[in-house]
Amino acid sequence: MSSIVEAGALSGLSADPKVPAKGAIDPEIEKLAVNTVRVLGADLTQAFKGGHPGTVMGAAAIGVALWRYQMRYNPKNPDWFNRDRFVLSAGHACLWQYIHLHLAGYDAWTIDALKQYHNPDFGIAAGHPEIEFPGIELTTGLLGQGVANALGLAIASKNLAATYNKPSYPVVDNKIWCFVGDGCLQEGVGQEALSLAGHLRLDNLIVIYDDNSVTVDGSIATCFTDDTSAKVKAMGFNVLEVYDGTNDLTAIIKAMDEAKATRGKPSFIHIRTIIGFGSRKQNTGAAHGAALGEDEVSYVKQLFGFDPAKRFVIPDGVYDYFHPVIQRGADDEAAWNAMFAQYAKEHPAEHAELTQRLTGTLPDGWKNDLPPKGALPTSAQATRKSSGIAVQALVPKYKHFIAGSADLMESTFVNFKGQVEFQSPDTGFGDYSGRQLRYGIREFAMVGAANGMNAYQNGMIIPICSSYLAFWQYAMSACRLGALMGVRFIGLGTHDSIGVGEDGPTHQSVALAAFFRALPNFNLIRPADAEEVLGAWEVALDAQHTPTLMTLSRQGVPLLEHSDRAKVHNGAYPIFANYDERTADPELVLIATGSEVWRAVEAAKKLAPLRTRVVSMPIQSVFDRQPAEYRRVTLATGKALVVAIEPWASYGWARYAHASMSLHTFGLSAPQETLYELFGYGIDTIVEKVSKFVESKRVDGKIVLPGVGEFEELLLGYAKKHAGPELELH
């Protein structure tokens, strides 16, 4: 049964021994503080006629409870390691957070900073929370993802506590607070994250549901009638109810106290509020995402006892009311620092390891743990299995890694020797020190949680996420936010092409890579063999502020004679030539990626005496950042015809090549070798198509390069011609 927390009205109840007890604070000052937040919300959105005033006004008491009484943080050192973390999943309500950061005494959040909200002059008061500004843990706003981020923060905190805490030394014992709205709970990623949090019994996670029953379109009764408390309780949460969250500060504080004291399950505080409270537009969609209007702002000010002619007013009494949190934060950090110094004496090895991890880097020399090329298997091996070599070499040794998969641990080779699963100890499946995480079939929440884990503190946790490549499309939005924030995860997308074979077209990615290649600050890597796979891991781990997705084959590929992990760092490099490159330039360059590089090499051998170079291009984005001269020399720009070979859509290849051998349909269900022949990637077909293309460009025996914008699809219609009517279905 859910707990119901009810009380009378705004009061001076204290939830912290350093804050004056109930009755010591004038209730009128408390009420003034809450109303000041409301008026500021109306004023600041009206100043530049943009933003979201409704939640600021309706949830003001929740903010006061959090920043004045409940959360442990130091506003003068926003990065203090053992602070509570706060995630505003309902990111449109960011002004509510900004106002409380100002009142709490964060140096960067001056009144002038608040005035930049929706201001064309820009500033730190962004239209949604952005990770780079003090007091903001993650960039949020695409509803629901903040719940997954908070899940990741809670996992990180639990894992670090289980790894480093010792009797009398709770070096990690913080809480993770997540503020959600109706939209966060309607989005699927929010449900995925809540489900996993409940299963993992993360009692350091407290979710605050601002239930104002209004979205942009108006009342949610038109689209959302779930019994949310019952549903979340069924997921394993301790559910607490507050029925007047607009005004009942006492009830909110009591609920938060109970949530902090709960053991063995996360807490969900269901708080009913009135959006736009105090305005005549309250309880309507009009109060959600637009300025109220000058007349309405004046009305709100008069209602709450403010002068309508004055803007951005914060009475001295409100500053005085919040002022104790500055000393409280300083005292909390000082006490922790003293404990940590003693911890260093009592547990020097753990202290040294934790201190090293706080740098956000792996220890020097980690690349030496990866086996040299001479120790790699020479027989054909799937690159997904080759990735497992890196996992086995690094993850058991370095506690920085938390590996996991969406129900495909052994298929994606993220399991490792001696692994312990990250699970509640009560289940018998593992414990919180474990670093193998079963995400279940929740790809979106998996990557959202990975963003949170890496953001926990300076990238000290490196999450590994894995699934079939086709399922990464479920997580694309979280990948985008990870790239935007500059956090790092190692993504593994296996079964990456028609080489999946009998799994069929649902699992054979065609166009997915185009998105990831276009995504700023994101590494999509398609390695050709085991040596390039290890190079891909080096690139991914060197990129401290860039997420990576490696696309890996199900089918075996040979270890190539001239593959070179060091050259993977260039994005592309010549890997084979069928002539002596010291004596002449190539006439033809074949660019290939992943499991098609060896096919390009074999085709090049048959294309002799046509002088042919094969270039492996595992990372387009990294190659694009190389000096122009390197790029020109690698592709023999202006000297040779260039053909790209890849069983994905051709989009993007025109910037490098004159033609491509690419897919133009979805795949089929058949053995992978059958599909390679059917879709035109057999060695003889490559030779035939490329030869015809080269001959079509000869004039008087000389190759004439196509003009700008000319690009040919060498396999257009090929599969349809050879497959028969069944291809029409796809």
DSSP 3-state assignment of 641? strand
Cβ(515)–Cβ(682) below 8 Å: no
| Strands ordered across the beta sheet of 462-468 | 436-438, 401-405, 462-468, 490-494, 548-551, 523-525
Q: What angle do CA 393, 399, 400 make, to 5 degrees?
A: 95
Cβ(398)–Cβ(543) below 8 Å: no
Cβ(193)–Cβ(205) below 8 Å: no
Q: Of residues 30, 137, 187, 443, which has the active-site annotation?
A: 443
Residue with tokens 């058991």, as numbered in its chain: 396
Cβ(728)–Cβ(687) below 8 Å: no
Distances (CA, A) of 569 to 56, 374, 486, 594, 634: 47, 19, 19, 15, 14
In angstroms, rounded to a whole number, what is the distance separating the alpha carbons of residues 110 and 101?
A: 9
CB contact set of 408 (below 8 Å; sequence gap of 6+):
466, 467, 468, 494
Two tokens, residue 591: 């660019």
Instruction: Indicate if 646 belongs to the active site.
Output: no
Maximum distance among all Cα pairs of the chain, rounded to whole angstroms: 98
How many helices (H) and strands (E) in the chain? 26, 24
State the amino acid at position 284 in one-letter form.
T
CA 258 distance to own-chain centroid: 31
CA 176 distance to own-chain centroid: 17
Distances (CA, A) of 710 to 58, 237, 624, 665: 59, 59, 21, 22
Q: Is the four-CA dihedral 704, 709, 715, 717 of positive or negative sign?
A: negative
Two tokens, residue 50: 């943009």
Q: Is the peptide bond before 609 cis (omega within 30 degrees of 0)?
A: yes
Q: Is the four-CA dihedral 148, 175, 272, 282 of positive or negative sign?
A: negative
In angstroms, rounded to a whole number, what is the distance separating the alpha carbons of residues 568 and 649?
A: 23
Classify 213 in phi/psi space as left (phi over 0), alpha (psi -120 to 50) or beta: left
Two tokens, residue 331: 């005292």
Nearest CA to 2 out of 195, 235, 200, 202 is that of: 235
Give the residue numbers annotated as catalytic, written as ranges. 443
